[in-house]
């Protein structure tokens, strides 16, 4: 009779014999090697894609846009930095030009100053952008403003202002740059949306609406541009520690001026910019850069909408109560 303990050790020996006597180990190492090689090739392709690419970044004066400028610059991209504040753009250019040397060859950025909420300025701005390096490879529609307020207190002008900056501005700029991309059959449009482009949170109506519209427009664009080999990436971050809530507008159009706790506790824009660079380099189509809770909320909205709506109503009640107390 063989005892259970010796049967176990016999089995162990047989398994080890099988592993060492057959081709399993070489096969395992072979698979790991192929996987590693595949990753390396992917990484090399990504680096090559970004090096010397002409990248336009809107909202480069602050927060995520500014950090994107730094990571794309370090990756060797030829930058066109856009914003409303020309001085801030020049200061960023000086900072980039004097940053420590990297292995990758870097390029002196250009700046183009214009207001995305001014439809009349965009065609001229696009022409100026195209003159910088002769073409555009990647447009990063990053600029945006947020909003805090109750729908019933908010003037339609405020809704329009948020839509102009977050939706119509990027759409107009994209349309103005697309013909040259189509001619070259090459280009990449990136939209920095938000988790609020996928789910709507009470007292953020104008912002959530503008980001839902962004998601919808750029999803349509992706399908329509496939024939020209033009890539479209929509990136939806959760909270990022930037000035977004400070710069948000309220129901009457005045500046909110508060650093919200959620924004203050958000991810560092430096890290998010690295994720944006990777998503663009890998030509991802749709990326959510958020923690577990907002990511779950997106699934909940699709799979159990009734429950999601109850949670949002309860959130609205709580916020109203806190405001009135």
Ligand X SMILES: NC(=O)c1ccc[n+]([C@@H]2O[C@H](COP(=O)([O-])OP(=O)(O)OC[C@H]3O[C@@H](n4cnc5c(N)ncnc54)[C@H](OP(=O)(O)O)[C@@H]3O)[C@@H](O)[C@H]2O)c1
Cα–Cα dist 137/184, whole Å: 10
165 touching ligand X, by CB under 6 A: yes
Q: Pick the catalytic residue: 49, 73, 167, 207?
A: 207
Instruction: Quote the CA–CA distance of 206 and 153 in Å, as a whole number.
Output: 12
Contact letters (x/-) for ligand X, 132-161, by CB under 6 A? ----------xxxx----------------
Residue 172 in contact with ligand X, rule: CB under 6 A: no
Strand arrangement, sheet containing 78-83: 110-113, 78-83, 54-57, 138-141, 187-192, 230-237, 286-289
Smallest separation, CB 318 to ligand X (Å): 20
**Does 52 engage in binding with ligand X (CB under 6 A)?**
no
Strand partners, 57: 81, 140
Q: How many residues comprise the chain?
A: 325
Interatomic CA distance for residues 293 and 114, integer angstroms: 37
For residues 68 and 190, give the distance between their C-alpha atoms in angstroms, rounded to a whole number. Answer: 12
Q: Which is nearer to ligand X, 116 or 130 (CB)?
A: 116
Task: Kindly tell me which of 106 and 194 has the beta carbon lying closer to ligand X.
Answer: 194
Binder of ligand X out of 53, 54, 57, 64 (CB under 6 A): 64
Nearest-approach distance from CB 217 to ligand X, in angstroms: 14
Residue whose CB is less far from ligand X, 186 or 274: 274
Return d(Cα 91, Cα 60) in angstroms, integer.
11
The tokens for 124 are 């001229």
Half-sphere exposure (Cβ direction) of 302: Cα atoms closer than 13 Å: 6
Question: Judged by CB under 6 A, does residue 111 bind ligand X?
Answer: no
251 to 310, contacts with ligand X by CB under 6 A? Answer: 263, 266
Active site residue 147: no
207: its two tokens: 């912002």
The binding track of 211-250 with respect to ligand X, each residue x by CB under 6 A or -, is --------------------------x-xx-xxx--x---
- Dihedral of CA atoms 35, 40, 43, 47 in degrees, nearest 10, equals -160
What are the residue numbers of the active site? 207
Q: Give contact residues for ligand X (rule: CB under 6 A).
A: 58-59, 61-65, 83-85, 115-117, 142-145, 165, 192, 194, 237, 239-240, 242-244, 247, 263, 266
């Amino acid at each position: 009779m063989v005892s259970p303990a010796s049967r176990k050790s016999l089995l162990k020996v047989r398994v080890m014999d099988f592993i060492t006597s057959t081709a399993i180990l070489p096969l395992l190492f072979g698979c790991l090697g192929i996987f590693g090689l595949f990753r390396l090739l992917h990484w090399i392709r990504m680096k090559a894609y970004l090096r010397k690419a002409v990248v336009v970044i809107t909202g480069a004066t602050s927060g995520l846009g500014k950090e994107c400028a730094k990571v794309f610059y370090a990756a060797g991209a030829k930058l066109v930095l856009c914003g409303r504040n020309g001085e801030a753009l020049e200061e960023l250019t000086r900072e980039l030009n004097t940053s420590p040397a990297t292995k990758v060859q870097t390029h002196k950025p250009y700046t183009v100053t214009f207001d995305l909420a001014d439809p009349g300025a965009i065609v001229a701005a696009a022409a100026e952008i195209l003159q910088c390096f002769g073409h555009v490879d990647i447009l990063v529609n990053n600029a945006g403003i947020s909003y805090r307020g109750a729908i019933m207190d908010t003037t339609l002008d405020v809704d329009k202002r948020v839509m102009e900056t977050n939706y119509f501005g990027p759409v107009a700029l994209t349309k103005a740059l697309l013909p040259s991309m189509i001619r070259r059959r090459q280009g990449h449009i990136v939209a920095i949306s938000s988790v609020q482009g996928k789910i709507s949170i009470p007292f953020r109506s104008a912002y959530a609406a503008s980001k839902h519209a962004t998601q919808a427009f750029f999803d349509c664009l992706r399908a329509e541009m496939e024939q020209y080999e033009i890539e479209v990436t929509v990136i939806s971050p959760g909270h990022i520690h930037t000035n977004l809530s400070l710069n948000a507008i309220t129901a009457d159009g005045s500046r909110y001026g508060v650093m919200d706790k959620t924004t203050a506790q958000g991810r560092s824009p430096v890290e998010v910019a690295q994720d944006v660079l990777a998503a663009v380099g890998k030509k991802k189509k749709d990326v959510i850069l958020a923690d577990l809770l907002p990511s779950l909320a997106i699934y909940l909205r699709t799979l159990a909408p009734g429950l999601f709506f109850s949670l949002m109503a309860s959130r609205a009640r709580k916020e109203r109560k806190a405001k009135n107390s």
